[in-house]
């Protein structure tokens, strides 16, 4: 019995050494290299343009002595860098990989550039908000009202925002979810569901100022019919009613889509066990769609929590603390920012920046809470 002879491996010197640049495929680092090169070339172009001008590099505010910024065209620098990147990656890919791969890289690059360009204004907004809002982010802002802008804070606006948003959510969320349940589970294209869909679409496009005027006119009509004083009907509950008009359509549409995504097999399995329809909806459909429902509610809250026009009309503005939704004007963070910005003093402007920052943090906190609720209460397979 003869032993099989193993074929010796060719020596390393005789192996086919292939260059990845000439093998029909670009290496993974080439995209980052082209991007860095595009930024450098664009920077050189606009740096030379600044050097040829007689402008100083930093702009100085003569009144305060602080530097306002740089005489450098940041927007054009980014735009030219993006254009150079697209042209460069397409040319290199076309020379090495061919037309098809070059087109793919060009389109992928356009998507990436569009995403980055869309994120730049958001990043600039967040940066500006944090830089200007942090100096006033102290205990005074969270413990005092704005009766005296020089030594005041925004506690009354935070309380007003929370109360108005809570009242809006307590009214809008049950109505919106129950309407979505009817449209998906009971309506099935009848005349009532068609009418509801039509009016939900109409309410989606209602301007926010119209919602504020509607709430104010409604309370004015009710007060006049009851013989009450109608000199000033701007109260917190009127602002909540105005936000309800804006929030219900968002809740209905988001909840409707989430409930439609629940597989019919789950419903049919429940019906096969003799479970009534209402219990199937409560125990099977809603728990399955809970993550999407919570997300939709949070999106609706984020949609209305920053509204200013309807609250200016219906809830009014105040510099004092008010815990009663049914009496006197109630301030909120959006109206507080507007009211504080009208003060020409530096303290008033600082209150406005800090109020806007606190409003952003509240929205972020709501999203975190929504994520936690979705994680712990959604079906285990979706975690």
pLDDT tens sequence across 19-72: 455 556 778 788 888 888 888 888 888 777 767 766 665 554 444 444 444 556
- What residues have CB less than 8 Å from 164, skipping those under 6 apart? 236, 239, 240, 243, 311, 315, 325, 330, 332
Q: Are residues 257 and 124 in the same domain?
A: no
Alpha helix locations (H) across the chain?
A: 30-52, 74-96, 99-133, 139-143, 155-181, 191-204, 208-225, 236-260, 264-272, 277-280, 286-288, 290-305, 309-314, 333-341, 346-377
Q: Are residues 122 and 200 in the same domain?
A: no
Q: Are residues 201 and 99 in the same domain?
A: no
- In the three-class reduction of DSSP (H, G, I as helix; E, B as strand; rest coil), residue 39 is classed as helix
Q: Are the C-beta atoms of residues 84 and 41 closer than 8 Å to each other?
A: yes
- In the three-class reduction of DSSP (H, G, I as helix; E, B as strand; rest coil), residue 58 is classed as strand
Q: What string of DSSP letters covers 116-148?
A: HHHHHHHHHHHHHHHHHHGGG-SHHHHH--SSS
Structural domain includes residue 95 = yes
Number of domains making up the chain = 2
Whole-prediction pTM value? Answer: 0.74
Q: Are residues 181 and 294 in the same domain?
A: yes
Q: Are residues 90 and 187 in the same domain?
A: no
Q: Are residues 241 and 294 in the same domain?
A: yes
Q: Are residues 311 and 209 in the same domain?
A: yes
Cα–Cα distances (Å) from 2 to 5, 105, 198, in that order, read 9, 56, 87
Domain with 158 in it: what CATH number? Answer: 1.10.3720.10
Structural domain includes residue 7 = no
Residue 175 has pLDDT above 90, yes or no: yes
Q: Are residues 186 and 91 in the same domain?
A: no
Domain that holds residue 44: 23-136
Q: Are residues 195 and 88 in the same domain?
A: no
Per-residue pLDDT tens over the stretch 73-125: 677 788 888 888 889 888 888 888 888 888 888 898 888 888 888 888 888 88
Q: Which of 136, 159, 192 is the last residue of a domain?
A: 136
* The two three-digit tokens of residue 20, written as one number: 């990845």
Q: Which of 82, 101, 136 is the last residue of a domain?
A: 136
Structural domain includes residue 344 = yes
Q: Which of 113, 136, 159 is the last residue of a domain?
A: 136
Structural domain includes residue 14 = no
């Amino acid at each position: 019995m003869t032993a099989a002879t193993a074929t010796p491996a060719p020596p390393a010197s005789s192996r086919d050494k292939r260059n990845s640049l000439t093998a029909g495929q670009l290496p993974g680092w080439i995209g980052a290299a082209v991007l860095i090169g595009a930024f450098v070339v664009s920077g050189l172009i606009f740096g030379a343009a600044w050097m040829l001008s007689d402008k100083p590099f930093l702009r100085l505010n003569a009144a305060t002595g602080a530097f306002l910024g740089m005489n450098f065209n940041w927007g054009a620098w980014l735009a030219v860098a993006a254009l150079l990147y697209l042209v460069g990656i397409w040319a290199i890919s076309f020379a090495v990989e061919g037309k098809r791969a070059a087109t793919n890289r060009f389109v992928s690059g356009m998507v990436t550039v569009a995403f980055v360009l869309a994120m730049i204004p958001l990043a600039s907004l967040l940066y500006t908000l944090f830089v200007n809002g942090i100096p006033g982010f102290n205990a005074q802002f969270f413990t005092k009202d704005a009766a005296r802008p020089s030594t005041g804070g925004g506690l009354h606006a935070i309380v007003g925002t929370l109360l108005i948003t809570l009242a809006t959510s307590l009214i809008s969320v049950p109505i919106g979810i129950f309407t979505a349940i009817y449209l998906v589970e009971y309506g099935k294209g009848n005349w009532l569901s068609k009418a509801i869909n039509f009016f939900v679409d109409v309410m989606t496009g209602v301007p926010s100022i119209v919602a504020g005027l509607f709430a104010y006119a409604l309370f004015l009509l009710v007060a006049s019919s009851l013989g009450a004083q109608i000199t000033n009907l701007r109260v917190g509950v009127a602002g909540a009613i105005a936000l309800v008009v804006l929030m219900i359509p968002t809740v209905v549409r988001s909840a409707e889509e989430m409930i439609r995504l629940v597989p019919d097999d789950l419903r049919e399995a429940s019906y096969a066990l003799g479970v009534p329809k209402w219990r199937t909806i409560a125990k099977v459909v809603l728990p399955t769609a809970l993550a999407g429902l919570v997300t939709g509610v949070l999106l609706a809250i984020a949609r209305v929590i920053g509204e200013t026009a309807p609250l200016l009309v219906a809830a009014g503005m105040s510099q004092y603390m008010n815990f009663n939704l049914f009496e006197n004007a109630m301030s909120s963070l959006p109206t507080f920012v507007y009211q504080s910005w009208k003060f020409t003093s530096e303290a008033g402007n600082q209150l406005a920046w800090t109020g806007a920052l606190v409003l952003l943090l509240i929205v972020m906190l709501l999203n975190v809470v929504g994520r936690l609720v979705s994680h712990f209460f959604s079906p285990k397979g979706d975690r």
